[in-house]
A and B are shown apart, each in its own frame.
Chain A
Amino acid sequence: MAGGAASGGSANTDTYKEARTWLLLPAWVTLSILVLAPVGMMLVYSFLTKEFRGGVVWEFSFAAYDQFFCDRGLFGDEPCAIEWTYVTIFWRSIWQAAAATLLSLAIGFPTAYFIATRPERMRPVWVFLITIPYWVNLLIRTVSMKFLLRDQGPLNDALIGMGLIDSPLHIVNTNFAVQLGLFYSYLPFMVLPIYAAVERYNFSLSEAAADLYASKFTTLRRILLPAVKPGVIAGCILVFVPSMGSFLAPDLLGGAKNFMIGSLIEEQFKGNAGNWPFGAAASMILLTMVLILLMLFARQQAKAEKAEG
């Protein structure tokens, strides 16, 4: 029954039809207060005039979006040329988040497969083990990561001790360190949806493929992967989206040398710039990009379901 409802999703009978409005009300109220209102506020702020040293003046202005798209030189008085600064920062964030997502997928998929193929009573234990490190605050985990990776840290000591390298690897304050940090921060968001998908997978399909002389790789590619694809895509989105807006890993592990979107936005509110409308505009542009990404995913899902019939 439960399984049918979860996978079907389009049951004809609606047991709770009468009470539907009331049952949805708490969710709607929570979402409105915690999601829609702040986003609406950001949207309004992004069209206001900035107040010197933080804050807004209630006068309509395109200045924030102008700053994002127009390069007007060091003194702000040249004609509009294409502004590459923020495009570069967005591109860097996308690239870093994509690398972290691929890394998570490479480690997360085998992990999820491993857990899903353990005896049923052992699976909760493995899932529990995956979540344990995440009981610790993200900040502390990121700082610990820095301690592990630093030039005189345990990782380099061990590699030198084993004779693999002569001088320490410089990992901290590089892009790679940021990717590692993001990967580590969001790995469970990759493992858990894939695990849920693989667990529901009917392994007799793999056996049937093997009986029909499919190689192990072909079975993985043609049978298992298509069946668990929704889990993989959900995992990728859950890692990619927060990675793109993250600012802890770039600041602590990347040395804060190059802005990512998250640190750029943070700087507008907390830093010296004090340019709230611009921070709001950058947030809205990020939000729009993520929404487009999610809509593409939803369309692709719908198409796939249609194709299946």
Chain B
Amino acid sequence: MKYLVKSSVAALALALGANAAAAEGKLVLYHWFEYMPQEVLDKFTAETGIEVTMDTYDSNEAMLASLKSGAIGTYDLAVPGDYMVAIMGNQGLLDTIAEGELKNKANIAPEWADPAFDPGRMSSIPYQWGSTSFAVNRDVYSGNIQTTDILFNPPAELQGRINMLDAQGEIMAMASLHMGIPQCSSDREQLKALNAMLQDAKQHWSSFNSDTAKEVLVSGDAAVGQIYDGFAAKAREEGANVEYAYPVQGYVAWMDNVVLLKDAPNRDNAIRFMDFLLEPENIAAVTNYAQYNAGVTGVEAFLDPDLASKPEKNPHANAGPGIFIEVCDQQVQAVYDQIWTNLKK
């Protein structure tokens, strides 16, 4: 019944929207690729008459570089990961949402309402959260995969058939877990060991690629792929016999967040879109598409029933901790950059 009412309201809005569209203006999103279902944007346009334009990026760093080289002021909203929200906040790239501006702010799940990367949610709302670890093709390797050795010290069957994400943060965090050292460690011996370990592991890797992380698993080009949980589930559904691992050493946890950018040209529309994404039904549609998790209370009723039971969403009993990527200080980051250059020179 509730659904019926909602859809008739939507239909009514659609009829009205046709006239309203021109008057209500625009919204410009800067978003990850393959992460926003078109029907959610269409629904927003139908309800509000606001036309949505979306550009995409393939890494947090690429988005930051683009904004800093002059794109700030072009976009209203972006969707950075947890650590990048903190960086953008420090760099003054975010606008503050005043108390009471977001009508649906109370819908944010309590555990995500006051995160360390944006205390009090002054500039952001949750988009999706999930994990990054790796998936292994079970036709190629049938042994134990619940260890980071699969990436950094692989068994013979998997050597030379590993695709890594082309992302420094994800690789450094995973490597730190593998070695049992803290992230952003400033201990010289630990950093030297990290450098040496990565140099040694690289000989077993066939490529670094984020955009095609899923495709290389589906096509069989790679037998192991460092990958996000939702992408692994999609790879499995597209026919690859892959299993997503939750290593005993731990894995990377992340949350992507919709942030209000400084100098947003359509600030009011941006706030409306944030409110729209805090409606359980709407953010559930994103979750059903992307196959991660929403940070909004009350989404359960709208979720695809199969989603909760997917193996990618259910860490086994011995899984290590899920850790967020930390933001290193300038000195340690300089060493990380040097290690990264050494890795790819």
Contacts and interface: CB of A to CB of B under 8 A. Distances in A.
A273 interface: yes
A257 B340 contact: no
B205 interface: yes
Contacts of B205: 257
Interface stretch (A8-16, A52-60, A119-127, A227-235): A52-60
Interface string A145-170: 00000111000000000000000000
A189 interface: no
Contacts of A272: 61, 167-169, 336-337, 340
B192 A52 contact: no
A257 B202 contact: yes
B6 interface: no
B10 interface: no
A74 interface: yes
B221 A269 contact: no
B219 A173 contact: no
Interface centre among B69, B195, B336, B342, by most chain A C-beta atoms within 10 angstroms, is: B69
Contact of B339 (A55, A74, A151, A172): A74
B345 A258 contact: yes
Contacts of B192: 74
Interface centre among B59, B87, B344, by most chain A C-beta atoms within 10 angstroms, is: B344
A251 B58 CA distance: 14
B65 to A, nearest CB: 5
Interface residues of B, number: 40
A252 B91 CA distance: 32
Given A52-B330, A54-B65, A172-B221, A257 B208 contact: yes
B65 A274 contact: yes
B279 interface: no
Chain A contact residues (Cβ within 8 angstroms of B): what range? 20 to 34
Contacts of B333: 52-53
Contacts of A75: 188, 191, 335
A53 B64 contact: yes
B333 to A, nearest CB: 7
Contacts of B207: 173, 255-257
Nearest to B210: A256
A82 to B, nearest CB: 14
Contact of B344 (A54, A173, A259, A269): A259
B149 interface: no
Chain B interface helix/strand/loop/mixed: helix
Nearest to A153: B219
Contacts of B169: 272
B345 A88 contact: yes
Interface in A33-83: 52-55, 74-76
A260 to B, nearest CB: 10
Chain A interface helix/strand/loop/mixed: loop
A261 to B, nearest CB: 12
A274 B334 CA distance: 10
B338 A74 contact: yes
Given A172-B221, A273-B337, A85 B209 contact: no
Contacts of B62: 270-271
B146 interface: no
A74 B65 CA distance: 25
B344 A256 contact: yes
Interface string B191-218: 1100100000010011111000000000
Contacts of B334: 76
Given A53-B64, A257-B344, A269-B69, A152 B202 contact: no
30 contacts: A54-B65, A74-B192, A74-B195, A74-B338, A75-B188, A75-B335, A76-B334, A85-B341, A85-B342, A89-B345, A152-B220, A173-B207, A255-B206, A255-B208, A256-B208, A257-B207, A257-B208, A257-B344, A258-B344, A258-B345, A267-B344, A270-B59, A270-B66, A272-B168, A272-B169, A273-B337, A273-B340, A273-B341, A274-B64, A275-B337
Interface of A: 52-55, 74-76, 85, 88-89, 150-152, 172-173, 251-252, 255-259, 267, 269-275
Given A270-B59, A271-B62, 15 more contacts: A53-B64, A53-B333, A74-B335, A74-B338, A85-B342, A151-B221, A152-B221, A251-B166, A251-B209, A257-B206, A257-B208, A259-B344, A271-B59, A272-B168, A273-B340
